[in-house]
Amino acid sequence: MSVSQPITVTVNGDRKTAEVEPRLLLVHFLRETLRLTGTHIGCDTTHCGACTVLVEGVPVKSCTMLAVQADGQQVTTVEALAAGGTLHPIQAAFKQEHGLQCGFCTPGMMLTSIALLQEKPDPTDEDIRWALSGNICRCTGYMNIVKAVRSAAAQMKAAAAVPAATAAARS
Amino acid sequence: MAVETPLKGNIGDSIRRKEDDRFIRGRGNYVDDIALPGMLHMAIHRSPFAHARIKSIKTEAAQAVPGVVAVVTGALLAQHKLAWMPTLSGDTQAVLATDKVRFQGQEVACVVATDPYVARDAAALVEVDYEVLPAVVTPQQALEPDAPLIRDEKDGQTNNHIYHWEAGDKAKTDEAFAKADRVVSLDTFYPRCHPSPLETCGIVADVNSATGHATLYMTSQAPHAHRTLFAIVAGLPEQNIRIISPDIGGGFGNKVPIYPGYVVATAASLLIGKPVKWVEDRSENLISTGFARDFHMSGEMALSNDGRILGLRVKLLSDNGAFYADAQPTKFRAGLFHIVTGSYDVAAAHVEADGAYTNKAPGGVAYRCSFRVTEASYLIERLVESAALEMKMDPADIRLKNFIKPEQFPYMSATGFEYDSGDYPRAMQVALDKLGYQSLRQEQAEKRKKGELMGIGVASFTEVVGAGPGKHYDIAGLRMFDSAELRVHPTGKAILKLGVKSQGQGHETTFAQIVTEELGIPAADVEVQEGDTDNTPYGLGTYASRSTPVGGAATAMVSRKLRDKAKRIAAHLLEASDADIEFDQGKFFVRGSPAKSKTIQDVAFAAYTNLPDGMEAGLEGVTYYDPPNMTFPFGTYLVVVDIDRGTGQVKVRRMVAVDDCGVRINPMIVEGQIHGGLTEGFGIAFMQLITFDEEGNCLGSNFTDYLLPTSWETPRFEMGETVTPSPHHPIGAKGVGESATVGSPAAFVNAVIDAVAHLGITNIDMPVTSDKVWAALHEKGAAE
């Protein structure tokens, strides 16, 4: 067994310091060390995306990244999405559009979708399907997931437009 | 401005799912999320060979790793009579191998350690000395006279043959074939595939050495049946076993069997006195847990010159792997394959089935449809396609000509099923209209003139689901009834406890809606609980699309039982006689005076505060429902494909799916179930394959090799519906979880064959990959 190394990772805004084995996977650091079990493990080989988290805002499959590689970085997991108890638009949309069934892929799906919407606030269905093609869902057939992402995009766009419109009216 | 009234959740309301709130917050509770104080971790050492004699097992190096608490071998289990366990088909299966390994990935030893990484390190250090034996990888090889004997430990087993089973009337079928104008035949293989729910299988076993109580958190689709089997296998008193099946990350049949890992983790917890967690990785899931299909089918269809199906003759050969472990009723050795006459009025049919042992992982067999119904549906729909080609008839026309007519229901099939209800021509017509079938046929004709390959696939499936009745159907002897317990609290809120177990199907919403419909309590006020054997009534679990047909019926019946009592309480409150009380939408009133009423909430409060003299307090009840018959969902699926002659690539351009699952309780959830089932059918038709080399090495042991559909290639489905209620189900529902996986593979393959049949290509076995299509085109000189 190799010697543990100290790491400091900012997870969902909280600085977390731990001594970890260099071989510890990020997903195990999140699930076992920090007990953030919303991030799931589905395949161990980077195919299914159930373990997707955001590292510095970029979707990463945390089963294929070492915890030590996340040292000094910002990690976002599903647990951060309902900030202050209010659902993120992507969460609300997944429920509204029936974008989940067993719920196992859902955290990874939502985080990948959030990254897509940051890059492309108004994606086409093809954009959504391509962005989510590294996240496998065995239950939904993706139809309602695509609808959910589209619906979240519209919600987020409308929400972003409100302050701008208010500001325009005042000037 | 009109205020939108939130839906109460009656039958037909697409209310949003009650269970979603925890999942979208990452607050689901799956087996691997459970951590108990002092919990240990187990890893399994598995066989690298498909067939080998074990000469010795050395565990010293594994034992010596710091953090290792125990190494469990078959020899240790044998001391406790646990080295072998019964399967769901009455065979035996090794828990940990003692004499031989019989498939690659078989469980040989288990390491229990304080840390999961340490357990894996040490499992790799278990040293097993093997004498490698020749492997048998097909059932045809297995039945050769000189084939190596796989189950040499079984008394009286002298070859690899497991069973011979027949259904139907042979003499009558022979007669039909003798009179036939034409006979078409099809040999096809439904290959081995795997359900692969996104969550793998696992357990946290917590045996309290002081009290002897075992709490087992398990990925179980059938927790009550598993409790009974655990009691029998492990010799534990059943009242001391509590199985908790928490949130399940998809099942699709994969979580019906009892796996060796569950048994060893429980035994380890018992021996060590601490909780033990075992969660398999994906490769372990793919190589060792319940596969599906692996079924060789030869079908012959007797036809008259005008395209009437006169008879059907089928021979089957099943590859059951090293242990016969199908989850199926004991009377039916080939499951319910004899539903093979499908949607058609066929006067004579005969089915012969044989099963064989091979050096491959045992079943399972279920994958979003159990009991071999999927294979039967695939065969008949492919055979009808062959018949249409032979007779030069349109595939829709030949189906319309042979469908069981609506007025023939209830219909007794040639192999002994009584179909409850159906209107097959209507479902077909809705699908044809939605697709614009005729204009696509014209487009196809024009494309064909230009040498372009376009096909339209038709499949009109009939499924048989919802087992019992208990007198015919059982699992390991347990009759297939199911149960519901309903407790209405004084404030009018309710808890519904069920013997079935959701794996994503939305039970917490759907079954609450049945209570809403029957009692008028809003779905939001009905908490649905499942999966804890200490706190739910006994049931057989969720598989075979049986939750709504059986558990849903139990829910309706227990609600009605409480409604009858509620009526008597209402009569007391309204100072009227019981016979004069009517109920509508949650209100009780005297006939003719609906203005003066008592709500279900008023009545519930009175059940605890103001009862008529002599009546027992409370508004609670339990029902065990044994259905009088199975239910028979059906539908028509149409697929349009375009094929690239240069690469053999098949592109699904359109898919129309018209399902009739009887009454739809929550249409949103029903459609979601169909979307998922179609996608799995698409995967099976085009990409999912577990295969083996000649040494028995599994070539589909991870998601690089075992391909699953992603959002990119999955077709966009166009949905349609008809509603033909089940006449014997209390609310007319039939079950829908598996229809799409049963019906769709034939529609996809028929579309491919429809595109290439004019070139002389009449069959390509699944998965229909580009290389297979290209090779078939190339052989006919039609590839570019």
Which pLDDT value is given to residue B169? Answer: 98
Show the domain range for A13.
Answer: 5-80
Beta-carbon separation of A140 and B675 below 8 A: yes
Proportion of chain B above pLDDT 70, given as a percent: 99
Active-site entry in B369, B381, B513, B530:
B369
Average pLDDT, chain B: 97
What is the average pLDDT across B236-240?
Answer: 96
To test the contact with chain B by mutation, choose from A29, A100, A102, A150 the residue with the greatest count of B C-beta atoms within 10 A, namely A102
Chain B contact present for A35, CB below 8 A? yes
Among A82, A104, A129, beta carbon nearest to B711: A129
Beta-carbon separation of A102 and B25 below 8 A: no
Which pLDDT value is given to residue B235? Answer: 86
CATH topology of domain B482-625: Aldehyde Oxidoreductase; domain 4 (3.30.365)
DSSP line for B246-273: -B-S--TTTTSSPPHHHHHHHHHHHHHS
Of B233-247, B357-371, B411-425, B727-741, the range with the lowest mean pLDDT is: B357-371
Which pLDDT value is given to residue A1? Answer: 53
Name B37's Cβ contacts closer than 8 Å, sequence gap at least 6: B275
CA distance B192 to B294: 4
Same domain, A105 and A127: yes
**Amino acid sitting at position B304:** S
pLDDT at B129 over 70: yes
Residue B27 among the catalytic residues: no
pLDDT at B193 over 90: yes
Same domain, A72 and A102: no
Predicted confidence band of residue B2 (pLDDT cuts 50, 70, 90): very low
Pairing of strands B634-643, B453-462: antiparallel
What is the average pLDDT across A87-107?
Answer: 98
CA distance B199 to chain A (A): 6
List, as ranges, residues 87-146 from A with C-beta within 8 Å of B: 87, 91, 94-96, 98, 100-107, 110, 128-130, 132-146
Beta-carbon separation of B198 and A138 below 8 A: yes
Active-site entry in B104, B106, B141, B221:
B221
User: Residue A140: which CATH number?
Assistant: 1.10.150.120
Same domain, A153 and A89: yes
List, as ranges, residues 47-66 from A with C-beta within 8 Å of B: 47-48, 50
Residue B680 among the catalytic residues: no
DSSP line for B192-257: -B----SS--EEEEEE-TTT--EEEEE--S-HHHHHHHHHHHH---GGGEEEE--B-S--TTTTSS
In a domain, A90, yes or no: yes
What pLDDT, in 10s, does the model give residues A63-75? 999 999 999 999 9
Same domain, A12 and A69: yes
Beta-carbon separation of B704 and A47 below 8 A: yes
Chain B contact present for A157, CB below 8 A? no
Same domain, A91 and A107: yes
Among B16, B32, B117, beta carbon nearest to A96: B16
Which pLDDT value is given to residue A165? Answer: 59
Same domain, A76 and A127: no
Between CA B421 and CA B426, with CA B424 as vertex, the angle to 5 degrees is 115
Phi-psi map region of B342: left, alpha, beta (phi>0 left; psi -120 to 50 alpha): left
Which of A64, A80, A96 marks a domain boundary?
A: A80
Beta-carbon separation of A50 and B717 below 8 A: no
pLDDT at B5 over 90: no
Which pLDDT value is given to residue B3? Answer: 45
Give, in words, the CATH class of B34-133+200-248+255-288: alpha beta
Predicted confidence band of residue B197 (pLDDT cuts 50, 70, 90): very high
Same domain, A38 and A13: yes
Chain A contact present for B21, CB below 8 A? yes
0.95 exceeded by the pTM?
Answer: yes
Residue A16: strand pairing partners: A9
To test the contact with chain A by mutation, choose from B15, B18, B25, B65 the residue with the greatest count of A C-beta atoms within 10 A, namely B25
User: Residue A43: which CATH number?
Assistant: 3.10.20.30
Task: Give the SS3 label for residue B172.
Answer: helix
What pLDDT, in 10s, does the model give residues B31-58? 999 999 999 999 999 999 999 999 999 9
The sign one gets for the Cα dihedral B530, B533, B536, B541 is positive
Residues of B in contact with A78 (CB under 8 A): 25-26
Predicted confidence band of residue B784 (pLDDT cuts 50, 70, 90): confident
List, as ranges, residues 489-528 from B with C-beta within 8 Å of A: 503-506
Which pLDDT value is given to residue B375? Answer: 97
What pLDDT, in 10s, does the model give residues B152-175? 999 999 999 999 999 999 999 999
Which pLDDT value is given to residue A162? Answer: 76
Chain A contact present for B148, CB below 8 A? no
To test the contact with chain B by mutation, choose from A43, A52, A79, A106 the residue with the greatest count of B C-beta atoms within 10 A, namely A43
Which pLDDT value is given to residue B660? Answer: 98
In a domain, A166, yes or no: no
B781 burial level (CB within 10 Å; 0-12, 13-18, 19+) = exposed
CA distance B503 to chain A (A): 6
Which of A21, A49, A80 marks a domain boundary?
A: A80
CATH 3.30.365.10 boundaries in chain B: 291-467+629-779, 482-625
What pLDDT, in 10s, does the model give residues B510-566? 999 999 999 999 999 999 999 999 999 999 999 999 999 999 999 999 999 999 999
CA distance A33 to A54: 18
Beta-carbon separation of B711 and A39 below 8 A: no
What pLDDT, in 10s, does the model give residues B249-290? 999 999 999 999 999 999 999 999 999 999 999 999 999 999
What pLDDT, in 10s, does the model give residues A127-167? 999 999 999 999 999 999 999 999 999 999 999 887 665 65
Residues of B in contact with A28 (CB under 8 A): 116
Residue B221 among the catalytic residues: yes
The CATH classification number of B291-467+629-779 equals 3.30.365.10
Which pLDDT value is given to residue B366? Answer: 87
Q: Tell me if B505 sits within 8 A of B543, measured CB to CB.
A: no
pLDDT at A3 over 90: no
Predicted confidence band of residue A171 (pLDDT cuts 50, 70, 90): very low
What is the average pLDDT across B86-113?
Answer: 97
Which of A24, A46, A80 marks a domain boundary?
A: A80
Beta-carbon separation of A107 and B505 below 8 A: no
In a domain, A141, yes or no: yes
Which pLDDT value is given to residue A161? Answer: 85
In a domain, A170, yes or no: no
Domains: count for chain A: 2
Chain B contact present for A1, CB below 8 A? yes
Closest chain B residue to A31 measured between Cα atoms? B33
Predicted confidence band of residue B370 (pLDDT cuts 50, 70, 90): confident
Same domain, A71 and A99: no
To test the contact with chain A by mutation, choose from B664, B702, B711 the residue with the greatest count of A C-beta atoms within 10 A, namely B711
